[in-house]
Structure 1
Amino acid sequence: MQYQIIPVTHFQENCSIIWCDKTKEAAFVDPGGEPELLQKAVEKLGVKITKVLLTHGHLDHIGAALKLAEHYQVPIIGPEKEDEFLFEALPQQCIQFGFPYTAAFLPTQWLNEGDVVKVGEESFSVYHCPGHTPGHIVFVNLAAKIAFVGDVLFKSSIGRTDFPRGNYEQLMSSIKNKLLPLGDDIAFVPGHGPMSTFGYERNYNPFILQG
C-alpha cells in the first residue's frame, strides 16, 4: 500500500491519496478542498480513483468530496450515520468557517464499526470512534500498520470536543479502548499536522497521560 498526504485549504487539513501497488486503484481520504490540486496529484501519480472515503462530516474534511466524486464518477463512503446532521448543515458550515459555498449532500454509503473497505487488494477496517463528532470513523490497514484517524488524535494532542455533539469522555474512550490497543507500531495520519504512532502517543501525549 502507498499513500501521499496533501494539505489543502487555509486550515491545512491532510487529504490522503491511498492506493494499491498491484492494481493502482486509489481513494481519497478526507478531501477538504482544492479539488483541482488533488486531481493534478492523481494525474501525476498515475493511479485510478475508485472511491472517496470520509472520516467525519466537518466541512474542512469533506469540502471537495462531491466535486471529486462527480469528476471521477465514484461513490462517497463514510462516515457513520450519526454525522448526517453535519452534511445537512454544510451551507451553514461554509459561512461559519469562511469556506466557498458547498451544497448539502449525503454519502453514497454510511459505514459502521466492523465494516471493511477495499481499495484494490488493500483492506481497511472501520472503527467507530465518536467524540470529536458522533459519527466519526477511523480507517485502519493492519497489514500495512497505518491508520487514517481524521480529527480523533493528533501528535501530542487530541481532537476538539466543543463542536455540536462533541463529547470528551467518548473521545478519550475511542482513543484508549479502540486505537491504542491496535499496537504501538501503528503509524497514523491525523486530520491536521504531522504523522505519529500510537506508541508515541501512549507514552508522550499529555492528554492520554493525564487521563
Structure 2
Amino acid sequence: MSLKYRIIPVTPFQQNCSLLWCEDTLKAAVVDPGGDLERIQAAINAEGVTVEKILLTHAHIDHAGGTAELARALTAPIEGPHREDEFWIKGLPMQSQMFGFPEPDVFTPDRWLDDGEEVTIGNQTLKVLHCPGHTPGHVVFYHPESQLALVGDVLFHGSIGRTDFPKGDHPTLIRSIREKLFPLGDQVSFIPGHGPMSDFGTERQTNPFVADHRG
C-alpha cells in the first residue's frame, strides 16, 4: 500500500496545506496547517482518516498559524521544523499583525527535526532534509517509494522561495535546492508551499533561478 495525499489551499495566501495518509492504516498527517481549519477538518472527514501528527516545513504564519489550535483539536503531536525556526514560532503573533492574520497561539513542537531523520505516517516513512535559505530551519519531507517531496517554500514551479525575511539567505537557498533536492532525481514530483505541483527534472530544465544552464 502507498502514501496518498490531498492538497488543501488555505489562508489568503493560498498556501498548500497537505493531508498525507497511509493507504494501509488510514493514519494521516497534516502538513503546514496555516489556517482555515474547518477546510482541513472537512478534508480529514471526507477521506475517513485519523490524523496522528502535524508536520511543519517551516514557521511562517501561512504555514504554521493554525498549528496550535489544530494540535489541540486533534490531540496530535507537532513534528518539525528544525530548531533554527524557533524564533519564527515565537514571532507568530507579530507575523499575524503584519499580514492581517488572526492571532495564533505560540507553541513548542513535540519534536524538532534534523537533517537525515525520519518521520512516520502509519506504515509509511518520510525522510527529513534540512533545506535552509527561505528560513534557517526549513525542512523538506521526502517519500522515496512514491517519489514525492513536500518542499514548502524552498522551490516552486518556475520560481524559488523569498530570501528577504530575517535570516533568509539566497546563496544558501540555491545550495539547498541543487545539493539536497535535485540529487533525489528528475522524476521526483513535489508539492510546493504555493501554486501547482512540478517535478525536479522540469525545474532543472526551465526554472530561471536554478536551471542547470545557470551554472
TM-score range, shorter chain: over 0.9
Moved over 3 A (4+): none
Partner Cα separation in structure 2 for residue 141 and residue 31 of structure 1: 20
Question: Does residue 31 of structure 1 match 2:33?
Answer: yes
Deviation per CA, 1:73-108, whole angstroms, max 9, x where unpaired? 010100000000000111100001110011222211
Question: Does residue 7 of structure 1 match 2:9?
Answer: yes
1:162 maps to 164
Do the aligned residues in 1 keep the contact of 2:7 with 2:19 (CA within 8 Å)? yes
Partner Cα separation in structure 2 for residue 45 and residue 115 of structure 1: 28
Partner Cα separation in structure 1 for residue 38 and residue 65 of structure 2: 12
Partner Cα separation in structure 2 for residue 104 and residue 38 of structure 1: 20
Give ranges in structure 2 of 5+ residues lacking alignment: none
Q: Percent identity?
A: 53
Partner Cα separation in structure 2 for residue 103 and residue 71 of structure 1: 13
Partner Cα separation in structure 2 for residue 176 and residue 114 of structure 1: 17
SS of the residue aligned with 2:210? helix
**TM-score, with structure 1 as normaliser:** 0.99
Question: Does residue 83 of structure 1 match 2:85?
Answer: yes
SS of the residue aligned with 2:40? helix
1:172 maps to 174
Partner Cα separation in structure 1 for residue 91 and residue 70 of structure 2: 20
2:101 maps to 99
Do the aligned residues in 1 keep the contact of 2:68 with 2:106 (CA within 8 Å)? no
Question: Does residue 136 of structure 1 match 2:126?
Answer: no
Q: CA deviation at 1:67?
A: 1.1
Letter in 1 for 2:78: I
**TM-score, with structure 2 as normaliser:** 0.97
SS of the residue aligned with 1:143? helix
Partner Cα separation in structure 2 for residue 70 and residue 31 of structure 1: 13
Give ranges in structure 1 of 5+ residues lacking alignment: none
2:50 maps to 48
1:16 maps to 18
Over aligned residue pairs, what C-alpha RMSD do you find? 0.7
Q: CA deviation at 1:9?
A: 1.2
Partner Cα separation in structure 2 for residue 63 and residue 41 of structure 1: 18
1:197 maps to 199
SS of the residue aligned with 1:103? coil
Deviation per CA, 1:118-138, whole angstroms, max 9, x where unpaired? 000111000000000000000
Q: 1:57 aligns with which of 51, 56, 59?
A: 59
Letter in 2 for 1:74: A
Q: How many residues align?
A: 211
